[in-house]
Structure 1
Amino acid sequence: MTRMGLLAVVCLLAAQPVVAQPAVSLTIDEAVARALAHAPRLAEVRARERAAEATRAAYEAAGRPSVSALTGFVRTNHVDEFGLVQPDGTRRIIFPDIPSNYRVRAEIGVPLVTGGRVDALVASAEAERRAVAAESASVEADIEFETVVAYWTLALARARVDVLEQAQRRADAVVSDVAARVETGLLPPNEQLSAEAQRARQRVQLIEAQNAAAVAEAQLARLVGVEPGQPIDLTTPVAGDMTIAGEVGDPSVLAREAARRRAERQALGDRAAAAEAAARAAAAALRPQLTALAAIEPARPNARFVPRVDEWNTSWDLGVTLSWSLFDGGRSRAERAAALARAEAIRAAMDDFDAAVDVDVRARQADVAAARAGLAAAAEAVAAAREARRVVGERFEAGVATTTDVLDADVALLEAELEQTRLAVALRIGQARLMRSAGIRR
């Protein structure tokens, strides 16, 4: 292929249109499901849960029989044999020269009495495992809440862009109308400049809103695992069903139920139980420990057989070992005191958590009620502003209203529409906050 032909092919390929990535359509529930499946934080806490399970299994194994085996070979220097002369004139070797020594030993140890230490350690590890599992549920709730907030934040940003685009189109129409009237001499030139200045201010707001929407989309994409730059289509309407469990009712009852449901409180309770069990384990270190031992030991030569001979002999032993730490410098008592202090601190944190949840639930209920009432008022404000804009437009057409009047009416309608959108999303986010505070999952 000639250089010109190759250049033509390259130019043809470069001229091909770039295929845009298809949009990902997500309902709010689909976004939450994808976020839970994608979240690295959740994978991290689940790995810690598996580690806690392994720790519990290790402590459980400490109370079971253990079997060990060993083998060895030792080469020693040559020694003079020692023996006795028998009455018949023969010499009996008592200590022969055997430089090669072989040994095999297998033993089993059975803990009979541990003073409650193993049981306490297992209980502590199990409580810690439950605490980590509760943390996993708490992380899931956090991810769910963050995804809901990101979803509705993007919805608000896009709604703001839509409202500002509509306002921009109205401003363009007003500028065109005013320019036509200025050309015919019906209006002075300053009216056109005022209209253009208002349109420019709205364009700045539109640019800022578009940037905020792009940032919000990137944040949601990060949470749900969508590739950067891939569009996201939100299919759950902002003005859909806006009723949730816990929105109305006695806040005291809801707060008590929240304290029972919240995974954070469950984790605190489990960690307090783990600390108390650790205190029992530390105290058990001062109690007697009883262990049984059985072993079998083939050896060549076997030192338990006299005289020593260069051949395999098997010996065995059974025994019981009693150990009792009479004094350890106060270490066990200090460890017990530290564990009990940790448990006391966690119990105090639980009381503080209960009080904070009670206040938080009441505040979230009030936020939802205020947002719902504000949304109803905002709908009335939008209707009134839209009607006022229509009347001012007709008066402007009739020549009895100024361009300033039209621009003021446009601004009032724009602000009313933006406020209505903001309150609708604020209600959605407020409901998500209430559900998170009350421990209610989607």
Structure 2
Amino acid sequence: MLLSALLLAPLASGQQTSPSVTLEEALRTARERQPQLRQARSATEVARAAAAEARAPLLPQASLSASYERTTANFFQRPGMLPPSVTRPSPSATASWKTFNFFNGGATVNQLIWDFDQTADRWRAAKVRTDAQKESERTVASQVALSVRSAYFAAWTDKSLVGVAQETLRNFQRHLLQTEGFVQAGTAPEIDLAQARANVATAKAQLIAAENAYLTAKAQLSLAVGWKRGLDYDVTPPVFDAVEGEDAPVETLEAEALARRPELAALRRQVDAQHLTVRAIQGAYAPTLAGSVSATTGGITVKDLGWNVAAGVSLSWQVFQGGLTRAQVQGASATASQLEAQFDQEHLQVRFELEQARLAILAAKATLRAQQDAVLNARERLRLAQGRYSMGVGSGIELGDAQVALSNAEAQWVQAQGQLFIARAQLLFALGHG
């Protein structure tokens, strides 16, 4: 922590004119505004609506109708209406343009009684798919959190590298002033002055590159969060402790991941929903029983309407459809097998992600320890080189090399710290934490 404070001191001492953004603020904003999450929530609402739609055929279906017409009442004969022996006047002889009112109304209630769970299983499958979509929404939330954390840590790393570049430039500028004095006094050769000026120019270019990288990283962070804001903000040093169990064997981590990963839960529910779909299709092999109740009314005046009431049941059975149902069952069963294989593949992917994140954490920790030693030794080297140069026994090249070595060591330490944070974020994701 002392080394971290030393590396970040140049930034902390500068004027902070831009507002600061914390990791928690970035995550909270992403949960509210990220378009991917909004799309996932909308997809969940679509799934809920589909489940309600699938339930509708199980409920009574009621309809009302009413009509009015003004009609003539001319009689005309049709084949089969009267026996041949019965004579009627010619239609043309009795035709008239006189019209009459006719009112007609009706009400019908239909209810599915039993269809061997075709409709019920479709509804159950739709409900399970809704649960699967909820898990998919959680998956998107976890992916967004990983993207935000990774982008934030990358931005913090680049900001720290800006601090390293600033401190390097200040040191080279101090060396330049010192070298100019030595050259004027005749205690250092002209080549040292040329080397010092070149070092300052190189440090300026590296600072520009570091600042540009930091701006680019903040643009990536804004994209991950879903911000529509400029880049006039700064990230603060993240507080990201070790993940519980990050040093545990992968078998221990795998048990937790299998219980928590939303992708696996979504696939489990998709498999269950597909098996219910297979059962629903198989119900088409059996008949369907339905009932209905209807009432009708009609007449030529509203005050004197006649009425009728009817009730009945109907049985329908698709005895043969050219093998349609069998083909649908085969297709749905194959889809279920495909989803089961996809679940197994996702299981393997989860184990790989756990291994990858765990190994990345171990490597980052080891690298961090090594780079801490490298920074301390590079600082000591620079101190000795400065002392030698001040006493006139060292060269400007030796001093510049020592400064470059320190800058590289500090940059690699910062990058190792960022890699450790990102690896822990990947482990959180692999374990199923949002």
**What TM-score comes out, normalization by structure 2 length?**
0.87
Separation in 2, partners of 1:295, 1:64: 17
Q: CA deviation at 1:276?
A: 1.5
In 2, are the aligned partners of 1:123 and 1:274 still within 8 Å (CA)? yes
Q: CA deviation at 1:180?
A: 2.1
In structure 2, the partner of 1:410 is 403
- For the pair 1:348 / 2:341, whether they are aligned, the reply is yes
Matches within 5 A, 1:222-301: 222-229=223-230, 231-235=232-236, 237-238=237-238, 240=239, 242-300=241-299
In structure 1, the partner of 2:13 is none
In structure 2, the partner of 1:154 is 155
In structure 2, the partner of 1:28 is 23
Q: CA deviation at 1:197?
A: 1.7
In structure 2, the partner of 1:139 is 140
In 2, are the aligned partners of 1:256 and 1:358 still within 8 Å (CA)? no
Separation in 2, partners of 1:437, 1:34: 22
In structure 1, the partner of 2:10 is none
Matches within 5 A, 1:88-127: 99-127=100-128
In 2, are the aligned partners of 1:22 and 1:230 still within 8 Å (CA)? no
In structure 1, the partner of 2:211 is 210
Q: 1:388 aligns with which of 381, 394, 399?
A: 381
- For the pair 1:48 / 2:43, whether they are aligned, the reply is yes
- For the pair 1:63 / 2:58, whether they are aligned, the reply is yes
Q: CA deviation at 1:434?
A: 0.8
Q: 2:312 aligns with which of 314, 319, 332?
A: 319
In 2, are the aligned partners of 1:24 and 1:230 still within 8 Å (CA)? no
Amino acid at match of 1:256: A
Separation in 2, partners of 1:254, 1:80: 87
Q: CA deviation at 1:199?
A: 2.0
Separation in 1, partners of 2:235, 2:242: 20
SS class of match (1:231): coil
Amino acid at match of 1:431: R
- For the pair 1:423 / 2:416, whether they are aligned, the reply is yes
In structure 2, the partner of 1:436 is 429
Separation in 2, partners of 1:358, 1:391: 49
Amino acid at match of 2:266: A
Q: CA deviation at 1:285?
A: 2.1
Q: CA deviation at 1:61?
A: 1.8
C-alpha distance after superposition, 1:78-115 (max 9, x if no partner):
41599xxxxxxxxxxxxx99754321000111111121
Which consecutive residues of structure 2, in runs of 5 or more, have no partner in the other structure?
A: 1-15, 78-95
* Residues 23, 178 of structure 1: alpha-carbon distance in 2 compared, 3 angstrom cutoff: closer
Amino acid at match of 2:271: A
SS class of match (2:400): helix
C-alpha distance after superposition, 1:256-282 (max 9, x if no partner):
321221111111111112222111121
In structure 1, the partner of 2:12 is none
In 2, are the aligned partners of 1:25 and 1:232 still within 8 Å (CA)? yes
In 1, are the aligned partners of 2:360 and 2:423 still within 8 Å (CA)? yes
Q: 2:325 aligns with which of 324, 332, 340?
A: 332
Separation in 2, partners of 1:331, 1:197: 81
Separation in 2, partners of 1:76, 1:272: 60
Separation in 2, partners of 1:166, 1:375: 21
In 2, are the aligned partners of 1:301 and 1:313 still within 8 Å (CA)? no
Q: CA deviation at 1:234?
A: 2.6
Separation in 2, partners of 1:100, 1:246: 85
SS class of match (1:187): coil
Of 410-419 and 432-441, the range deviating more from structure 2: 432-441
Q: CA deviation at 1:245?
A: 1.5
Amino acid at match of 2:211: Q
In structure 1, the partner of 2:363 is 370
- Overall identity of the aligned pairs, in %: 27
Number of residues of Structure 1 aligned to a counterpart in Structure 2? 400
Q: CA deviation at 1:198?
A: 2.1
Amino acid at match of 2:27: V
Amino acid at match of 1:379: Q
SS class of match (1:62): helix
In structure 2, the partner of 1:398 is 391
Q: CA deviation at 1:331?
A: 2.0
In 2, are the aligned partners of 1:378 and 1:416 still within 8 Å (CA)? yes
Q: 2:34 aligns with which of 39, 52, 57?
A: 39
User: What is the RMSD computed on CA atoms of the aligned residues?
Assistant: 2.3
